A and B are shown apart, each in its own frame.
Chain A
Amino acid sequence: MPNAEHAIVVDKLCKRYGTLLAVDDISFTVEQGEVFAFLGPNGAGKSVTVEVIETVRTATSGKVTVLGLDVRKRKAEIVRRIGVLPQNFSSFDRITVRESLRYYARVFGCKADIDALMDLTNLSGKANAQFNTLSGGLKQRLGIAAALVNDPEVVFLDEPTTGLDPHARRQVWDVLKGLKDRGKTVFLTTHYMEEAELLADTVAIISNGKIVAIDSPARLTEKHAEHARLTLESVEAAALGLVQKMGFASTQCDDGNIRVRIRCADDVRAILEEIQRAGLTVRGVDVRKPNLEEVFLKVTGAPRDDSAGDSSA
Chain B
Amino acid sequence: MTPRIIAANLGVRLRSFYRERSAMFFTFAFPVILVLVFGTIFTKPEHLNFDLPVQDLSRTESSAKLLEALTADHTFRIAQVPTDIDATQYAKEHKQNLVLVIPKNFDAPPGQRLGQRGVGNAVSLTYVYDPSSTSVTTKIQVLDMMVAAMNQKITGMPPHFILVPASILPERYRFIEFFVPGIIAMAIMTSCLSNALNMNAELRQKGILRKLATTPITRADWLVASILYQLILSVISTAAILLVSYAVFDVRLHIGVWLPLIVVVEVIAFVGIGMLLTPFAKEAESASAVANAFLFPMMFLSGTFFPVEMMPAFLQAFAKLLPLYYVNEALRAAMIFVDDPATMHSAGVTALFAAVVFAAGTFKTRWDEET
User: CB within 8 Å of B: which residues of A?
Assistant: 54-58, 76, 79-80, 82, 84, 86-95, 99, 103-104, 106-109, 130, 143, 146, 156
Contacts and interface: CB of A to CB of B under 8 A. Distances in A.
B15 interface: yes
Contacts of B210: 56, 86-87
8 closest Cβ pairs, A-B complex: A106-B8, A94-B19, A84-B214, A90-B206, A86-B210, A94-B16, A56-B213, A90-B207
B207 A87 contact: yes
B20 interface: yes
Interface residues of B, number: 25
9 contacts: A54-B214, A55-B214, A56-B368, A58-B369, A89-B207, A90-B208, A91-B211, A106-B8, A108-B216
Contacts of B368: 55-58
Given A58-B368, A94-B19, A107-B9, 10 more contacts: A55-B368, A57-B369, A86-B210, A86-B214, A90-B208, A92-B208, A95-B15, A107-B8, A107-B216, A108-B215
B11 A56 contact: no
B214 A109 contact: no
B214 A91 contact: no
A109 B369 contact: no
A86 B211 contact: yes
B175 to A, nearest CB: 39
B217 to A, nearest CB: 6
A184 B339 CA distance: 66
Contacts, number: 73
B95 to A, nearest CB: 51
Interface of B: 2, 4-5, 7-9, 11-12, 15-16, 19-20, 206-208, 210-211, 213-217, 368-369, 371
A56 B371 contact: yes
Contacts of A156: 214
Given A93-B16, A99-B12, A130-B19, A79 B215 contact: yes
Contacts of B15: 94-95, 99
Nearest to A143: B211
Given A56-B213, A109-B216, A103 B369 contact: no
Contact of B12 (A80, A82, A95): A95
A88 B368 CA distance: 18
A76 B211 contact: no
A69 to B, nearest CB: 14
A80 B207 contact: no
A95 B16 contact: yes
Nearest to A96: B15
A219 to B, nearest CB: 32
A106 B7 contact: yes
Nearest to B23: A94
A99 B13 CA distance: 12
Nearest to B2: A109
**Chain A CB within 10 Å, residue with most, of B7, B217, B368:** B368
A108 B212 CA distance: 11
B369 A56 contact: yes
A80 B5 CA distance: 13
Contacts of A88: 207
Contact of B11 (A54, A82, A86, A103): A103
B195 to A, nearest CB: 14
B34 to A, nearest CB: 26
A143 B214 CA distance: 13
A112 to B, nearest CB: 13
B86 to A, nearest CB: 67
Contacts of B214: 54-56, 79, 82, 84, 86, 156
Contacts of A130: 19
Contacts of B4: 106, 109
Given A55-B214, A79-B214, A88-B207, A107 B16 contact: no
A130 B208 CA distance: 15
A84 B211 contact: yes
Nearest to A57: B369
A137 to B, nearest CB: 17
B237 to A, nearest CB: 20
Contact of B8 (A58, A87, A103): A103
Given A79-B214, A104-B215, A86 B207 contact: yes
A26 B9 CA distance: 37
**Chain B CB within 10 Å, residue with most, of A54, A88, A99, A106:** A106
A127 B11 CA distance: 18
Contacts of A143: 211
